[in-house]
Amino acid sequence: MNKNIVPSLNKQKLMCKRFFETGAYLYKKYKVTNRPERVFTVREVPLGGVLDASILVCAGADGTVLPPFVTFKASFPLVVWLMGGLF
């Protein structure tokens, strides 16, 4: 889908309905309805600027928070990234 084109209201409603139907189906299929420790969400926060990097944050429905994961966009990682030079 082109990011610059906003879908029609009917298309948005259909997409939303399918999203929740799929979620309900997966919850039942994998039996996680009453198992919040098995449900996680991930959020990507771009850093931008000089660093072309992102931080991934993951939290569980039961309150569990995993350590942040930093990703860099590069063909090859710089040694300074791995040696604590930036963070």
Q: Which residues of 5-19 are buried (b: 16+ CB within 10 A; e: fewer)?
A: eeeeeeeeeeeeeee
Whether residues 44 and 66 fall in one domain = yes
22 located within any domain = yes
Separation between Cα atoms, residue 73 and residue 63, nearest integer Å: 30
Separation between Cα atoms, residue 87 and residue 79, nearest integer Å: 13
84 located within any domain = no
Whether residues 23 and 47 fall in one domain = no
Whether residues 12 and 29 fall in one domain = yes
Residue 85 above 60 pLDDT? Answer: no
Whether residues 31 and 45 fall in one domain = no
Q: Model confidence over 27-77: pLDDT tens digits?
A: 888 888 788 888 888 998 888 776 678 899 999 988 999 999 888 777 776
Range of the domain at 21: 7-36
What's the pLDDT at 70? 83
Whether residues 44 and 27 fall in one domain = no
3-class SS at 3? coil
How many domains does the chain fold into? 2
14 located within any domain = yes
Name the amino acid, one letter, at 72: F
For the CA atoms of 73, 78, 81, 86, the dihedral, rounded to the nearest 10 degrees, stands at -90
User: Considering the entire predicted model, what is its pTM?
Assistant: 0.51
What's the pLDDT at 82? 66
